[in-house]
Structure 1
Amino acid sequence: MRVLFILLTFLAFLDAKVVTTSTTKQTQGEGYGSTYEQAIGKALADAISRMYGGTLSQSTNFKTHSKKDKNGQNLEKTYNGEIRRVTKGNFDSYEVISKTQTDNGFNVKVIIKKTTTTKKYQTPGLSADNRRSIVVFDSTPDPIKRGIGASLQQKIISDLLQSRKFNVLDRDSNGYYEMEKAIIKSSDTASDEIYKLKNVLATDYILLFSISGLDGKQKTSNLTGKTKTEVEVVIDYRVLLFATRQIKFSNTLSMKVNLKDNSLSANESVLKQIANRISGDILNAIYPLKVASVENNEVVFSQSLNQGDTYECFSLGKVIKDAYTKENTARVETKTGNIEITRTSPKLSYAKIIEGSVKVGDICRPLNSGNNGNGYTIGRDANYKIEQGGGVNLGF
């Protein structure tokens, strides 16, 4: 409850709001003339030509209908209009910063200005700028299997969200967005609500999965007479880089699971296991699990993991280059120990050190994930490398 309270207090400072920003663009010019009016005109022409690369001649005629007042000529309103006309709205006002009268006339220095005010909707919560974006699609061709795929898709999305490593984008609820857009554009909505539009993120990656095989068999025990169902599932999945349409990661999950009964909860549990394997495979390839802290001989990770899972951890050494492409392939790894997840929360996981000495910055991978009895094999083409500074270069 204390953690929840702190989180809600923090989020209170991250409310959505419309931020107003004003910026002023300006440039300076100088002009000489036999009259004050002529000097200003040449100074304005000089300022504009400086901004536009000398395309405006100092002989440009700035039309004026000046009026005399007790302080001399009042040209401001007329010249402001002329500036907007000549610069096509890029500048809209001027200011005389100095004027000197000589025997031959006047020397004037001016600044022309354009002040622009913009408004932008600031989304609530943490900024999306530090995370890559991903979209999850079920590409299963069989309509019967697609019913299972929809549920599996939701569980993969949940896993990726809980990892806090991606902006997971929605592409399945377009009708609801259109309804809300219609409300925003209606006359009943406050004017600033319009800034919530045109903020949609485009994705970096597309995760496609397809259920290519699904088979169930029932077995009856000769001793107990009880029947159990054994399900074998085969799922192909790949990660695409949207900008180039490159396949950056590909794998096939072949997994056998046993159902003690045919209840909904049993089926949900199986789908959760499958989703966890797929999302875990992708996360281990793109973002290898890294030790965030070691406190009182307990290893801490900055994401939610499964209690009871075991990992082997490695320190990172020399960078190895590919002999042909000369690209950084990976870094030499030295095993530092094994750990087991003992407790977990929505944002943190804790592990005990089973053997060895694990330190901050070590990367950890599922222990014996390829031999867990389910026929599961981890990613064949991870295509990532870990940089010397500790970051991950996806090669994407």
Structure 2
Amino acid sequence: MRAFKILFFAGLLSLSLNAEVVTKTSTKSSTGEGVGITREAAINNAIIEAVGKMSGVNINALKKSHTSSTSDNKGTNIQDSYSEEISRATKGRADTFEVNSIEQDDKGNYIANVTIYKTTTTKKYKAPGQSASNRRSITVFNATPDIDKRGIGNNLQQQIITDLLQSRKFNVLERDTPGYYEMEKSLIKSGDAASDEVYKLKNVLATDYILLFSVSDIDGGVKKSNLTGKTKVEVEMKVDYRVLLFATRQIKFSNTLVMKTTIKDDSITADTALIEQIAGRISSDILNAIYPLKVASVENGEVVFSQTLNQGDTYECFALGKAIKDSYTKETTGRVETKSGDIEVVRSTPKLSYAKITSGSVKVGDICRPLSNGSGSGNGYTIGRDANYKIDENGGVNLGF
């Protein structure tokens, strides 16, 4: 337990090491040339030209500015008196300048060359961990309408979130507890927080995908064996789910799962096992649709993946060929796939998984999909099984127990 606590707090410390406010200072410059009958007029016209090049500001405002300052050989008095005029006339888009050269032609006119500068300092909060821009964002919503089933839906939502996080492919966003964020915002805006804490605000990510699911049916019962007299719990659940692309509200993926589990234990354990199976199936469907499992490396005869997979899971792998377009819409519908082999996961870590090649020759870049064993079960869940329940006339559900 002591070792666990040390590791736990060390993990929390490592998460906070890279959180910081980054300060960045940049200076823009622009050069202009001007002619005038006096030294000051030539410099003024050169500044006007430089400002126009830098930002296209209203240079008439600068033309109206004037000064009665005198200049010396270093031009320091000119710089001091003009800096305020530059900042005012350009609305802060330029704040100082320097005279590069000034000459007088044979007609007595002055020709000045100046460079103006605008220095900007910005601060930005750098969130700890990997950059969110490297991953797509997804939000998971429990849309179960029946209040009696929402508790199961909440457990399923938590398990789906856990599975998606462990895949390390998504930014999984939180939308169910806005009150806690409001409390934290109030603290940051109060006088008690350090001034730089305000840069943590306005960094909330908008989602790319919305996962909506609904637990539409769930039932269970106890079945007793006539031969052994032993009982077992059977639980069946029906879940409808869809994935929406937020920007366009397009439904990108939709499915209905009817899954059943049998366990020699109490119904609570059975429900938990069924929730884990359904969450795993939904997460797997989404990952395979958006991020098909791809071979990252082949080392010492083992296939390596950059995510956590379940030991014992089996997959079939395919080499990708040319892209195929729909004859009518001209959209790319996929790529020609040639089966390269079958694999079985033999071990995994929090970030990597290793599989042995059971047939064929699998290469880096091949994509892999869950392999059914033909009996209706594979990778711990039922694939494509028809619902075996019947709805009675009075609205009850007969599971056939």
Residue 274 (1) aligns with residue 278 (2):
yes
Helix, strand or coil at the partner of 1:129: helix
262-271 vs 279-288, which moves further:
262-271
Residue 60 (1) aligns with residue 63 (2):
yes
Out of 111, 115, 125, the residue aligned to residue 107 of structure 1 is 111
CA contact (8 A) 1:254 1:376 kept: no
60-69 vs 234-243, which moves further:
60-69
**Are the structure 2 counterparts of residues 277 and 315 from structure 1 closer, same or farther at C-alpha, using a change threshold of 3 Å?**
same
1:356 aligned residue = 360
Q: CA deviation at 1:370?
A: 8.0
2:384 aligned residue = 377
CA contact (8 A) 1:301 1:348 kept: yes
Instruction: Give the whole-Å Cα distance in 1 for the aligned partners of 2:104 and 2:311.
Output: 85
1:288 aligned residue = 292
**Are the structure 2 counterparts of residues 128 and 26 from structure 1 closer, same or farther at C-alpha, using a change threshold of 3 Å?**
same
Trace 1:208-223 onto structure 2 (pairs within 5 A).
208-223=212-227
1:184 aligned residue = 188
**Are the structure 2 counterparts of residues 20 and 208 from structure 1 closer, same or farther at C-alpha, using a change threshold of 3 Å?**
same
**Are the structure 2 counterparts of residues 57 and 190 from structure 1 closer, same or farther at C-alpha, using a change threshold of 3 Å?**
closer
CA contact (8 A) 2:261 2:273 kept: no
Over the matched positions of the two proteins, sequence identity in percent amounts to: 63
Residue 40 (1) aligns with residue 43 (2):
yes
Helix, strand or coil at the partner of 1:178: helix
CA contact (8 A) 1:62 1:79 kept: no
Residue 87 (1) aligns with residue 94 (2):
no
**Are the structure 2 counterparts of residues 262 and 80 from structure 1 closer, same or farther at C-alpha, using a change threshold of 3 Å?**
same
Residue 28 (1) aligns with residue 35 (2):
no
1:367 aligned residue = 371
Helix, strand or coil at the partner of 2:91: coil
Q: CA deviation at 1:324?
A: 1.2
Q: CA deviation at 1:244?
A: 0.8
Residue 18 (1) aligns with residue 16 (2):
no
1:120 aligned residue = 124
Instruction: Give the whole-Å Cα distance in 2 for the aligned partners of 1:12 and 1:168.
Output: 17
**Are the structure 2 counterparts of residues 71 and 313 from structure 1 closer, same or farther at C-alpha, using a change threshold of 3 Å?**
closer
CA contact (8 A) 2:233 2:267 kept: no
Q: CA deviation at 1:287?
A: 1.0
Out of 300, 306, 312, the residue aligned to residue 304 of structure 2 is 300
Deviations 1:219-277 (A, max 9, x none): 21112222222222111111111111111111111111113222544432221111001
Q: CA deviation at 1:52?
A: 4.9
258-267 vs 79-88, which moves further:
258-267
2:342 aligned residue = 338
Aligned length: 375
Unpaired runs of at least 5, structure 2: 386-401
| Superposition RMSD in Å | 2.6
Q: CA deviation at 1:294?
A: 1.3
Trace 1:157-306 onto structure 2 (pairs within 5 A).
157-262=161-266, 264-306=268-310
**Are the structure 2 counterparts of residues 145 and 59 from structure 1 closer, same or farther at C-alpha, using a change threshold of 3 Å?**
closer
Helix, strand or coil at the partner of 1:115: strand
Helix, strand or coil at the partner of 1:89: coil
Helix, strand or coil at the partner of 2:383: coil
**2:83 partner letter:** N
**Are the structure 2 counterparts of residues 169 and 54 from structure 1 closer, same or farther at C-alpha, using a change threshold of 3 Å?**
closer
CA contact (8 A) 1:240 1:248 kept: yes
Instruction: Give the whole-Å Cα distance in 2 for the aligned partners of 1:171 and 1:68.
Output: 63
Unpaired runs of at least 5, structure 1: 379-396
Instruction: Give the whole-Å Cα distance in 2 for the aligned partners of 1:239 and 1:262.
Output: 33
54-63 vs 266-275, which moves further:
54-63
Helix, strand or coil at the partner of 1:267: helix
Instruction: Give the whole-Å Cα distance in 2 for the aligned partners of 1:180 and 1:36.
Output: 58
**Are the structure 2 counterparts of residues 9 and 256 from structure 1 closer, same or farther at C-alpha, using a change threshold of 3 Å?**
closer
**TM-score (normalizing by structure 2):** 0.87
240-249 vs 257-266, which moves further:
257-266
Helix, strand or coil at the partner of 1:300: strand
Trace 1:134-149 onto structure 2 (pairs within 5 A).
134-149=138-153
54-63 vs 343-352, which moves further:
54-63
Helix, strand or coil at the partner of 2:132: coil
**Are the structure 2 counterparts of residues 371 and 80 from structure 1 closer, same or farther at C-alpha, using a change threshold of 3 Å?**
farther
Instruction: Give the whole-Å Cα distance in 2 for the aligned partners of 1:9 and 1:262.
Output: 36
Instruction: Give the whole-Å Cα distance in 2 for the aligned partners of 1:230 and 1:156.
Output: 22
Instruction: Give the whole-Å Cα distance in 2 for the aligned partners of 1:294 and 1:49.
Output: 59
Instruction: Give the whole-Å Cα distance in 2 for the aligned partners of 1:150 and 1:206.
Output: 16
Deviations 1:305-357 (A, max 9, x none): 11111111111112222111122211111111111111111111111111111
